[in-house]
Structure 1
């Protein structure tokens, strides 16, 4: 008799991003068990009841509400809980209040004996993922942030429109902070195997135009938030893609927020870069050969993150976890 491998996800935080992620999990059949933990249990129960109605059309996923004890045997705990970014507010301005929330959540999860993979989506995601790793004391390869996965997708969409090609065929990454100091690694990008900068030159698209697109991507979240109050479809789908890479042991190359230990000259910091992801979490960090401009951008972004991390964790009473 063949026993089907357990594929259990626990989602913590069932707001707009969390519920959109849960929908993606059910639509794609990424787990055979999805447990939702939320501060407002009626909300999570409502979503569980609603989502189970979709399973006859998608995949046999058991959807239920739960408690922290359900994390013990989970493959992945996905954290979408936390204060949301408001119109006019930067991700970094969320740091202190969300660090306090993260401490409470992580301690509850690790107390169950959880040894799986943390996937963090709450903002500021690089700083919160760093905190999750330090508080949980899990190996860094098992603590992953959504990072620049969404930003890279946004850039691929924009460049697909600019070059009139399928965005799936644009290979390019936004790197560093998921926020205002991120940047496009254009020097490493390709379209159809051709370096993107060479391809752009043949089409008469200037570096100034590419930099303008890069700036539009940095600000796209603000545009969406100002129009509809929040972003959730894009980030939920990027979380689902990361989840699939883990669950299916894909060794997929995706841009996420990951712990650096010397890569790009940076240590003891989480920021966005391509990595190889499989069932064990991060198998390998891919260090892109950045040009001089991009190296400066990465160093500047890392400095912003380290300073904000130190200040935020001190204010949140987590200074003992710094550089642990």
Structure 2
């Protein structure tokens, strides 16, 4: 991949730039922030390590510098404060996006737009509607991080490599997200079966406790150090890799659904094939009746939030 632009050089944006630079998947990385000094400082700091990594040109720029970018990653917006939910951010960040997105599209309407700013599902939808871009070119980072947290927690419980744990968090990247237990397996064994054969029992509250810990992970980290950024940067880097390498990997990114799972005109996260075109295909995998009901409830919450901000 030749060029990636990152809008917002705060905790998440700068760490994402560092992760992408470390991976060697982009030859040119542009950092853009309202605080130009911060962007320049981050670019210099990362750039000084380039001789020890893969060659890349990293620098601070302005909106005009998104020209020719293949991916535009948006992390800019108000930060989530301790005690504040992702949805509390909605009005502030929708206003920011209404101003920002048209300016970016004016310079580059061919890039894939990867939205990371919270509430990511709302802002993915807002970006699509404001930009006029094709659906497959507007992607939210969604529950890629949540699904990683889910796999990490399950692997810790069972004492196995997280790469052998397969499962998805779907729906909202937030409090109404759902663990798709019916699709979760360890080494190919359904989770309920694996609980029977492993040496770590799964009591009646096991699933509820795991999901609650996934949901509260960000709040816990924010209360201890003010922000989350390392793992989300890795999640964003992983999405960029899938696009850059046309991997056709399956990730729980957020996109505007068109009838999948009975949901229309709302952005939510579900297993999705991601490749060079962005959203290659939204997969409609079989969920239990309980999971479907919770997924539709998550969609209703997103719809009510969108209506509250005029969409």
TM-score band w.r.t. shorter chain? over 0.9
What is the CA–CA distance in structure 1 between the aligned matches of 2:188 and 2:11, rounded to whole Å?
37
Matched, 1:269 2:266: yes
Q: Which residue of 2 aligns with 1:190?
A: 185
TM-score normalized with structure 2 length: 0.97
Question: C-alpha displacement at 1:207, in angstroms?
Answer: 4.6
5 Å-filtered alignment, 1:237-256, equals 237-256=234-253
What is the CA–CA distance in structure 2 between the aligned matches of 1:35 and 1:16, rounded to whole Å?
16
Q: Which residue of 2 aligns with 1:80?
A: 75
Contact 1:72 1:114 in 2 (8 A): no
Question: C-alpha displacement at 1:201, in angstroms?
Answer: 3.0
Alignment size in residue pairs: 309
Q: Which residue of 2 aligns with 1:176?
A: 171
Matched, 1:224 2:221: yes
Q: Which residue of 2 aligns with 1:153?
A: 148
Q: Which residue of 1 aligns with 2:45?
A: 50
What is the CA–CA distance in structure 2 between the aligned matches of 1:201 and 1:271, rounded to whole Å?
33
What is the CA–CA distance in structure 1 between the aligned matches of 2:113 and 2:204, rounded to whole Å?
38
Give ranges in structure 1 of 5+ residues lacking alignment: 1-5, 315-321
Moved over 6 A (4+): none
How well do the aligned residues superpose, as a CA RMSD in angstroms? 1.0
Matched, 1:282 2:253: no
SS for the counterpart of 2:205 is helix
Q: Which residue of 1 aligns with 2:19?
A: 24
What is the CA–CA distance in structure 2 between the aligned matches of 1:160 and 1:237, rounded to whole Å?
18
SS for the counterpart of 2:14 is helix
Q: Write out per-residue CA displacement over residues 197-256 of structure 1, whole angstroms, 9 at most, x where no aligned residue.
A: 211233331352122111111111111000100100011100000000001111111111
What is the CA–CA distance in structure 2 between the aligned matches of 1:113 and 1:301, rounded to whole Å?
32
Question: C-alpha displacement at 1:49, in angstroms?
Answer: 0.9
TM-score normalized with structure 1 length: 0.93
